[in-house]
Structure 1
């Protein structure tokens, strides 16, 4: 295939460089990747074989200039492979995974390139570098060292083999999970079995069934996490049980979608790789290059929080038993009983609030409104710009002075070809060196109702929309020179911080009053309801904190194994049980947010030994919320400070140094403890 006939190898004709997905065929991807691999290898080889003494320009900047085509093609493809993974796209992904791994290793393990970077790093004090340039040189040196560039040739060969196999296994894990999630979607034959759901939820279930060729039935598709929003509303215990049972079974049934042998091999190979690189475990390897520094620091935080969280969950369980007339509270009944307790003690029925959270209004009059008030940016939908799927919408984002900031793509609805959960990714990233502007994507998995029926969000889905848009703002605002630092390219245990901060505007009076209006009448959410919602901040936090900590602990437990210990583990369920008992989070009524066989974050995503980052970042988040409240809240002055000193620096500065620059000190843990009801 010639470059002229492959749309991925030529510049897009659309505004702001948005790829024209209408012109891209699935058969275009692999030839484009191969051409891009070859191009970057030539670019890197030119650096490595140079006889000129290494300088920042001819080595570090030249490396930054390399791989532009590969980055463009990869972002285009991985946007599709996560959000619209047809069988043909999955086939490309499987073939591509080891190729990407081999290409990355060829660069990061290149001894010639490492020699030049090492020599520059040793003389960095004498090079007259700016702060961003010096940090880039330091990060490149750490990156190559951490990747194994200093190993001997035989060790590098084994490392390359491990990386290649792991790339295949993680792709297999995600493919299995998507298939099993679709297979286990729960079919209900009658509307009566769905008693308690809203008309919008029933409409979405009917549409999902019709899409599967069952127009007479109803299908509840599964969320990525263990629980399900429908569990809070369904009055039929059998219906709730079926949904929870299906959710927990994913990836752990004998057969072709069984993820247990896949994850066991992943754990073993990651432990072997860590040992090869000189670390006692994969967790030690990962955290050594994060703000946490060590798995011991992570363990200390999780253990500090686990005991009070579990104690709070036990108190919550006793209250739920009264609602269930003394019956034992099982995991399928927890959310249902919780809503009854919330309604009786706080006079709040969260399921009844959905008519006040119509998706379009939440987006425009909530999410966008808060961003405009805080940062001065504006949004204009571009119906003339096509995205990768008909459900994905494109918005042009402008600065207050009218200058172009970037493009924002929203893909709200669930579908069988989309992986579970919610996430942000980039189709293009900002870089002054390359003269590029950002294109960021938010993906959610909201059930799509039948045509003509409004999309009404749960309170959790409202939170997710604000959260993911916080990631989008980080990707849009980062203003850096070098592409390595673009967007959300920060330490993994810092990346959730901006998104968590953006959740604070959900209940801000001027924001909530603007978007929380009844879908039919336009009536605002009553002020007394708002007050009760705000007052319920610690309600059910024992459960919420425990289920999260259980998942974070499982991640740490799997990845703290030595190579020898990892080889001895054969029973996934037994390992989980022992790990949760070790930290005191083995309450059967409070299942882990993700069980291992469907824990996509750590076995097919980028969060291995890093799921702790949500609570780690929340320490900074809660402290930042306190700062906003102390300084007047939703103001342009506050927004400009947060944008310039934190969001705008991207990865071009040590994140904790950036935080101290913003806050004037290190973060305190006390605001987090108070938020989650753990202060006592």
Structure 2
């Protein structure tokens, strides 16, 4: 079978890059079947060893399942970027099988007993792995009786199906609710290129007129530029209708089963279960952070809303919920002389990527990124890059998939096809994904400030995967707590507008002129304006996430089962936190909150803010070390970058996270820099 199925043997391409040209959708089901059986045999072989030791138990467990990891990585990456009915049908079949397979391993009493009998080697990584495995087995039901294990497995399998269904339903609604306009005049304010792209998207999807596809958050980026209030409202309203019919029952059942599972495993709530593994340590700590900041964020947002209302009144207009970002943009232009359309002209995608994102990484970490035109991605427009040390030694591969497609789920993310591991002898293959609208004339897309920042953010995740240098695959790269994994990515955002970096890539698309200093000054001056809105919409989503996952099974039943009940639940949660702002909606409402109902962030959406505290304080360290700013010397940048690489990027989960940060900073984290950045200096 392996001769015919390219998934059943390791790729012969550089760095084990999957041979995408040879892989067809019909390969996946037989590949999953064979890989699951192979993993079962590998686990059985571990149990046949007479006397357990580190090599024949833990290292054998780490080595087992490589075929399953390979097939799963390819399948789920492709499903996320190019979903189809065929992929969805396969997922519906294999997702519960994978859940049941995982439960059989973690609930195996003989394997658990072997692990408990072992004494790990004295090095920190091995000791941490042993603790991690024992904790993982306990958290997956190894200590339950047979009835408890059976019920837990039932719950896990159903939850895996619900997660798959939520994401599939959201993608379907996102496609169906993409907003069609009858005339280009309705899109006034977007600029010729973006209007042409909307016409091209309509043609691509077989619809007459002009179509704006929906993005993942509530507020759509086009709302900041559309001059017509009716057009802004049309886009905003469509965004909030996603999942109302298809995902309502899914999310309620998901919350109920997560609460049941937590109780079964001895936890008060799902939030307690999840956050035990995070650096926050407890749901109470996460809640305290959110609740402490909410009143001040709401007050800032209300003050911003007043400014916007005054600006709109000068034009005899009003500010409704759909208009907030538009008038924020206008006030920013007026008060900070910041023309966002003018700014885009300095940010062509390829220029930002090569001369900004890659250039910053080369300055900091000494790495080189080279396009490999001989290697093929999995879809049109996907490029493959080789990442190497300064001396030419290969580190791994980066795939970039930046253009939106109707088949691609919303948002931006980083994922892995191959994880780095000294034990397995593997080097990383990672992918960065975004949903940028491709210009219809084939020209380079001109990015917004948010898109530039996202490009740097996702490459920060990529660096975490690429520069990993650990022994065990369980600890590789981004295999760290959710409230730590965002630390390297958010640190990397800071380099987007560092003077030495931005002047290397921000050149006018037509003239090649370097971005004027006054325009950069305007960007910096405007940076804190709008933080009230941005912080509040984020906090609102994080509070809703934590509220759902702090319920007992009985409390879930009391919520109700219709849209009005869910809306009332969201409203109560926000009111309790002191976060009620006129015309401001959460970044995600429950029915389209992909992060928590189809992603890995349930009870963990707070983690972006938790990690931002590390980021803000950590970037102060870069500044204090002389590595950031106009006068930064190259040798200083390189020295501090190398230290960050050694202490953070290379370590994965192989060492204590707080210890790594404290060694970097010389002390525990300070939330002061975060509060100043967010305009909340008096909040806590």
Shorter chain as denominator, the TM-score bin is over 0.9
Cα distance in 2 between the residues matched to 1:11 and 1:276? 39
Cα distance in 2 between the residues matched to 1:198 and 1:638? 42
Deviation at 1:51, TM superposition (A): 2.5
Deviation at 1:667, TM superposition (A): 0.7
Cα distance in 1 between the residues matched to 2:137 and 2:590? 30
Deviation at 1:449, TM superposition (A): 1.2
Q: Which residue of 2 is the match for residue 419 of structure 1? A: 409
Given that 2:370 and 2:387 are in contact with CA atoms closer than 8 Å, whether structure 1 keeps it comes out as yes
Aligned residue among 653, 672, 675 for 2:674? 672
SS at match of 1:535: helix
Q: Does residue 205 of the first structure (1) align with residue 198 of the second (2)? A: yes
Q: Which residue of 1 is the match for residue 102 of structure 2? A: 104
Cα distance in 2 between the residues matched to 1:582 and 1:328? 29
Q: Which residue of 2 is the match for residue 73 of structure 1? A: 71
SS at match of 2:551: coil
Q: Which residue of 2 is the match for residue 345 of structure 1? A: 335
Q: Which residue of 1 is the match for residue 55 of structure 2? A: 57
Q: Does residue 445 of the first structure (1) align with residue 439 of the second (2)? A: no
Unpaired runs of 5+ in structure 2? 629-636
Q: Does residue 614 of the first structure (1) align with residue 608 of the second (2)? A: yes
Cα deviation 1:149-178 (Å, max 9, x = unaligned): 111110000000000000000000000000
Aligned residue among 300, 305, 308 for 1:312? 300
Q: Which residue of 1 is the match for residue 651 of structure 2? A: 649
Q: Does residue 225 of the first structure (1) align with residue 217 of the second (2)? A: yes
Cα distance in 2 between the residues matched to 1:109 and 1:160? 9
Given that 1:557 and 1:579 are in contact with CA atoms closer than 8 Å, whether structure 2 keeps it comes out as yes
Given that 2:218 and 2:586 are in contact with CA atoms closer than 8 Å, whether structure 1 keeps it comes out as yes
After TM superposition, which residue ranges in structure 1, 4 or more long, deviate above 3 angstroms? none
Q: Which residue of 2 is the match for residue 574 of structure 1? A: 568
Cα distance in 2 between the residues matched to 1:331 and 1:546? 14
Cα deviation 1:334-381 (Å, max 9, x = unaligned): 111111111111111223311111001000011011011111111111
Cα distance in 2 between the residues matched to 1:317 and 1:381? 46
Q: Which residue of 2 is the match for residue 601 of structure 1? A: 595
Cα distance in 2 between the residues matched to 1:573 and 1:454? 41
Deviation at 1:78, TM superposition (A): 1.2
Q: Does residue 29 of the first structure (1) align with residue 19 of the second (2)? A: no
Cα distance in 1 between the residues matched to 2:522 and 2:204? 40
Cα distance in 2 between the residues matched to 1:369 and 1:437? 22
Cα distance in 2 between the residues matched to 1:88 and 1:197? 36
Deviation at 1:305, TM superposition (A): 0.8
SS at match of 2:211: strand
Q: Which residue of 2 is the match for residue 156 of structure 1? A: 149
Given that 1:394 and 1:409 are in contact with CA atoms closer than 8 Å, whether structure 2 keeps it comes out as yes
Aligned residue among 173, 182, 195 for 1:189? 182
SS at match of 2:650: helix
Aligned residue among 364, 388, 411 for 1:374? 364
Aligned residue among 275, 288, 302 for 2:276? 288
Given that 2:291 and 2:578 are in contact with CA atoms closer than 8 Å, whether structure 1 keeps it comes out as no
Cα deviation 1:11-68 (Å, max 9, x = unaligned): 323222111111111111111111111111111122234331x221121111111111
Q: Which residue of 1 is the match for residue 43 of structure 2? A: 44
Q: Which residue of 2 is the match for residue 297 of structure 1? A: 285
Q: Which residue of 2 is the match for residue 273 of structure 1? A: 261
Q: Which residue of 2 is the match for residue 170 of structure 1? A: 163
Cα deviation 1:472-525 (Å, max 9, x = unaligned): 000000101111111110111110000000011111111111111110111111
Cα distance in 1 between the residues matched to 2:275 and 2:649? 23
Given that 1:491 and 1:655 are in contact with CA atoms closer than 8 Å, whether structure 2 keeps it comes out as no
SS at match of 1:248: helix
Q: Does residue 324 of the first structure (1) align with residue 312 of the second (2)? A: yes
SS at match of 2:345: helix
RMSD: 1.1
Cα deviation 1:205-232 (Å, max 9, x = unaligned): 1111010123x51100000001111111
The farther-off stretch of 572-581 and 460-469 is 572-581
Cα distance in 2 between the residues matched to 1:644 and 1:577? 45
Distance change in 2, residues 1:25/1:452 (3 Å): closer
Cα deviation 1:588-640 (Å, max 9, x = unaligned): 41110000000000000000000000000001000011000001125100110
Unpaired runs of 5+ in structure 1? none
Q: Which residue of 1 is the match for residue 423 of structure 2? A: 433
The farther-off stretch of 259-268 and 338-347 is 338-347
Deviation at 1:400, TM superposition (A): 0.9
Q: Which residue of 2 is the match for residue 403 of structure 1? A: 393
**How many aligned positions are there?**
668
Q: Does residue 515 of the first structure (1) align with residue 505 of the second (2)? A: yes
Given that 2:302 and 2:582 are in contact with CA atoms closer than 8 Å, whether structure 1 keeps it comes out as no
Cα distance in 1 between the residues matched to 2:378 and 2:121? 45
SS at match of 2:529: coil
Deviation at 1:128, TM superposition (A): 4.3
SS at match of 2:401: strand
Q: Which residue of 1 is the match for residue 583 of structure 2? A: 589
Q: Does residue 531 of the first structure (1) align with residue 525 of the second (2)? A: no
Cα distance in 2 between the residues matched to 1:203 and 1:490? 42
Cα distance in 1 between the residues matched to 2:271 and 2:522? 41
Distance change in 2, residues 1:588/1:94 (3 Å): farther
Cα distance in 1 between the residues matched to 2:294 and 2:359? 37
Q: Does residue 143 of the first structure (1) align with residue 136 of the second (2)? A: yes
SS at match of 1:533: helix
Cα distance in 2 between the residues matched to 1:461 and 1:397? 23
Q: Which residue of 2 is the match for residue 659 of structure 1? A: 661
Cα distance in 1 between the residues matched to 2:191 and 2:351? 19
